[in-house]
Amino acid sequence: MSNHQKRLSVPNSWPVERKTATFTVKAGAGPHGEDGVPLLIVLRDVLGYADNRKEARYALNEDNVLINGKAISDEERPVGMFDILAFTEREEYYRVFPGEGGRLALTAIDPDAAESKLGKIVTKTHVSGGDVQLGLHDGETLVVEDAQTYDAGDSIVVGNEDGEIVAHFEYEEGALVTAVDGAHAGEVGEIEEIQVTPGSAQNNVIVSQDGDEGFETVEEYVVVIDENFTGDDE
């Protein structure tokens, strides 16, 4: 199986130039599905910390590159929305955040903010023993005891070291959100109205913005955040 991906057919979220070469690296198996960006692209094309795959492998073998608190040695490991990247030797920390056009971008954060990551709850199912399993946007699952506390559409912040939930943001009118896909990807505002659509069609969300007209998008593209996720935390 080839480990190359044609640049012209990469997902819109990948921060690569499509016409500079024919191929780029292919994402390996892992979180975020097809939207996950190979770590090599982040190291080489976004940050410029490596010129090629060989240099990236050498850097990763030093265990100085962490994603969500875990040292990564695979340069094809997918990186996606709200992941936390830490470069311990450089003392640099970043959160993956939606940029213009839906491309993944890096937001500098402080070391304390790098100790946990945000996840959008996309599924909520009952498991044996009476507990509830939450499925997050990146494929991670968490088992919780309090079934009434969390709902699909809510966001939670999970500690990287212990996997404990340290914050919970409800999906409701008045909540601060960002769009992670579509024409308004990267924009931030407050939910003004959630329009429930009958049948199998997605609900619409109307988002208001200070000094702007706001925007409308589908529920799938909206993620609840708080003010710490909108820029530099320092």
154 vs 18, which has greater pLDDT?
Answer: 154
pLDDT per residue as tens digits for the range 36-59:
888 998 998 889 999 998 999 998
Give ranges for CATH 2.40.50.740 in the chain: 114-167
pLDDT per residue as tens digits for the range 160-169:
999 999 999 9
Contacts of 110 (CB under 8 A, 6+ apart): 93, 233, 234
Predicted pLDDT at 104: 82
Predicted pLDDT at 199: 83
Give ranges for CATH 3.10.290.10 in the chain: 3-112
First to last CA, the chain: 44
CA distance 178 to 186: 6
In three-state secondary structure terms, 101 is helix
CATH of domain 173-227: 2.30.30.30
3-state SS, 127-154, equals CCCCCEEEEECCCCEEEECCCCCCCCCC
Contact between 27 and 37 under an 8 Å Cβ cutoff? The reply is: yes
pLDDT per residue as tens digits for the range 189-234:
999 999 998 888 889 999 999 887 899 999 999 999 998 776 544 4
- At the topology level, CATH places domain 3-112 in 3.10.290
pTM above 0.85, yes or no: no
Predicted pLDDT at 3: 54
Predicted pLDDT at 14: 52
**Interior angle at CA 169, CA 138 and CA 87, nearest 5:** 50
CA distance 124 to 141: 10
Give ranges for CATH 2.30.30.30 in the chain: 173-227
Tell me the two tokens of residue 24. Answer: 């780029």
How is domain 114-167 classified at the architecture level of CATH? Answer: Beta Barrel (2.40)
Beta bridge partners of 95: 84, 107
pLDDT per residue as tens digits for the range 80-136:
999 999 999 999 999 998 877 677 889 999 999 999 999 999 999 988 877 899 999
pLDDT per residue as tens digits for the range 2-23:
455 444 344 555 555 444 443 3
